[in-house]
Amino acid sequence: MLKKTIIAFAILGYTVGYSSVYAFHVVSLLWVFVSFCLVCFRQSLIIKQPQLLSPVLFLAGYSFLSILWSPDIYVWFRYQFYFACGILTLLAVYQSVNNRHQIVNVFKIVSFFVCLNVLVGFFESLGLARLPMSPYSPYVGFFGFSGTDFSLLSDEAAEIVGYKPTGFNWNPNNFGFVLMLVLPFVLLHKNKLFASLGLVMIVWLLAAIGSRAHFIAFFVMFSCIPLLYKHSVAGLVAVFVLPLFLGLILLIPSYFLVENYGLLRMYSAFDEFSRGLDLIFSGAVQGGDSTSVRAEIYLFGLQKLIASYGLGLGVGGVEAMLIKEGFVITNFHFFFLQLLIDLGFVLFCFFMFLYFKLVTTLLRIAKRTLDRNMKYYARSSALSLMVAVPASMAPSGVHYILFFYVLIGFSLAIVKLDLSGGLDESGSSW
């Protein structure tokens, strides 16, 4: 029961808590205490297919050792806390699943709270309701947070921000990242009416958020769909139909007047992405708009990586350097590029090899399993993990978004069931 409660509170996040203390933290500490007691009395904890967790523990160990060369101990401690919460979330999902009945139950729990999150965001985007602890709520101070001061915004900006959804994720870009991870599960759902309505609702929310990175991730997701149906009729159809579908989306501004602020931003995504690359390669970055600022911090991070001879700056290192150098934006805003700069070239390649090995393993499971639920879970999780890479350009950081760890834990649980045959009905584990 504790593990499933942790999963629920990981999705609810800051909405159940006060200031920096969440219900998730309290329940996680309780689980750690219970686990410690189990070790004292039983001398061991039951972890099935523990080899699947060894890369996680290795990276956690490296993260801890990086204190030896971290530029800022405070930032290092903060990242250790984020990763500890993330690993506990991952373990809660992984340990909740020991048979196919249990993985269905975990999926139902996650689905319920995700649907609730999407519904809240939808009401926010229509201006019908706003979570009182949202940064755009006038009541946010009662929950120990500092919200957005609308008096500092122009009337036009205040109106735009007033309709931006945040859901359970505080920041619209964080919420959009979660939506992009959820979208593959919606799109591939066996109930086509649910899939169609879910797709429309999520696209509506993404347009309300107006992130260019989400627009690029959206295209990457559809481009990857043929990989899910390789060597099949569906895959062959997707190869021909998807380019037409994506092309039609791109042609909309050419034939229809687009006035929505969020859509206008999203449709500038590829132009701004190209401009950002030009700025990085030319080195002519001086801040300014969003694209220039991000190009500046990306170039700064890459220069620091080169100066470290490819060894990396340590966990949280690039953020610590941005703070030290007095940058206006100190969050790196691209999780996977930040991993490269913090971990160094060799360890980053090791991490990405394992990451995409997990993706390909899930695709193999989806191809050979006869269980329709497992096929759906494996296929959707694989696509979601692929989408996470470009989508991670939107939020200030992914390391503190616990839903990402829920996804990884769920993906590893699918592999665990496949390795064990999914036949253990005892369900006994730590």
List, as one string, the DSSP characters of 99-154.
Answer: SHHHHHHHHHHHHHHHHHHHHHHHHHHTTS---TTSTTSTTGGGGT-----GGGS-
Distance CA 8, CA 111 (A): 10
- 211 closest CA partner among 203, 201, 221: 203
* CA–CA dist 114, 169 (Å, integer): 11
* R_g of the chain, CA atoms, integer Å: 22
Structure confidence by residue, pLDDT tens digits, 88-101: 999 999 999 999 99
Cross-strand bridge partners of residue 22? 17
CA–CA separation, 379 and 363 (whole Å) = 6
- pLDDT above 50: residue 205: yes
pLDDT attached to residue 263: 62
Residue 191 pLDDT exceeds 60 = yes
Q: What is the mean pLDDT of residues 406-410?
A: 98
Cα 129–chain centre separation: 25
| Average pLDDT of span 241-255 | 55
Please give the pLDDT value at position 104: 96
pLDDT at 28: 96
% helix, strand, coil for the chain, step of 5: 70, 0, 25
Query: Looking at residue 236, what is its pLDDT?
Result: 47
List Cα–Cα distances, 202 to 4, 121, 391, 428, in angstroms.
26, 10, 14, 37
pLDDT at residue 237 in the model? 52
CA distance 323 to 410: 35
Q: Which residues contact 345 (CB under 8 A, 6 or more apart)?
A: 305, 310, 311, 312
DSSP 8-state secondary structure symbol assigned to residue 229: T
Structure tokens at 40: 């004292």
Cβ within 8 Å of residue 225, ≥6 positions away:
238, 242, 383
The mean predicted confidence, pLDDT, of the chain is 87
